C-alpha cells in the first residue's frame, strides 16, 4: 500500500449521501487519495421470522451488498482512483467513526434516511463531527 491519504465517505442511498459521494470522489482525485465508500447497515432492521439466525444474517448481508451495488451503479466516475466499496454491519455513526481512524477526511451528508428526519443535522453526522478521528466534512442540502 502506498502512502496516499485515505478519504472515507458514508453512503445510505439518500440524496445528501449521493452529494457526499460526489464531493468525496472529487476530493480523492485532487488529493490522489484512496477512497473508502462505506455503507453501514443495521443488522436487526427487520423481524426475525421463519429462518435460522444464520439464514437471517446471510440474507441481511446479501441485501446490504445488493443495496451498495445499486449505489455503485449510480456513482460518479471513479476512474483513476483506488476505491474500496464496503458494506459494514453496525450502527452507522460507530462504523464511520471507527473508519475515520487514520483517514485524512470523513465525508457525510447532513441528513440521511434514518428515523430522525426532522433534525437540522442528522444524528449520524452529529456523532461523526463530535467523535471522528479526522476532519469531517458535512455536505448540506444547499451544496
| Share of residues in the chain with pLDDT > 90 (%) | 67
Q: Is 61 within the bounds of a domain?
A: yes
Asked if residue 1 belongs to a domain, the reply is no
Strand order through the sheet with 6-10:
83-89, 34-41, 6-10, 105-109, 136-139
The 10 Å Cβ neighbour count of residue 24 is 31
Residue 27 lies in a domain: yes
Residue 109: name the closest of 133, 130, 87, 129 by CA: 129
CA angle 82, 88, 78 (to 5 degrees): 25
Domain tally, the chain: 1
Domain that holds residue 88: 6-139
The reply to whether 13 falls in a domain is: yes
pTM: 0.85
The per-residue pLDDT for range 61-117, each reduced to its tens digit, is 999 999 999 999 999 999 999 999 999 999 999 999 999 999 999 999 987 555 444
Query: Which has the minimum average pLDDT: 28-32, 34-38, 46-50, 55-59?
Result: 46-50
Amino acid at each position: 500500500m502506498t502512502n496516499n491519504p485515505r478519504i472515507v465517505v458514508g453512503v445510505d442511498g439518500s440524496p445528501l449521501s449521493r452529494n457526499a459521494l460526489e464531493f468525496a470522489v472529487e476530493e480523492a482525485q485532487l488529493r490522489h487519495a484512496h477512497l473508502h465508500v462505506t455503507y453501514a447497515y443495521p443488522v436487526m432492521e427487520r423481524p426475525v421470522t421463519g429462518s435460522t439466525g444464520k439464514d437471517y444474517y446471510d440474507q441481511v448481508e446479501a441485501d446490504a451488498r445488493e443495496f451498495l451495488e445499486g449505489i455503485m451503479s449510480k456513482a460518479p466516475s471513479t476512474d483513476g482512483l483506488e476505491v474500496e466499496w464496503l458494506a459494514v454491519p453496525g450502527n452507522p455513526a460507530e462504523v464511520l467513526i471507527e473508519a475515520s481512524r487514520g483517514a485524512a477526511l470523513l465525508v457525510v451528508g447532513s441528513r440521511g434516511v434514518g428515523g430522525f428526519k426532522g433534525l437540522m443535522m442528522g444524528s449520524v453526522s452529529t456523532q461523526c463531527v463530535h467523535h471522528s478521528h479526522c476532519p469531517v466534512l458535512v455536505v448540506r442540502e444547499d451544496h
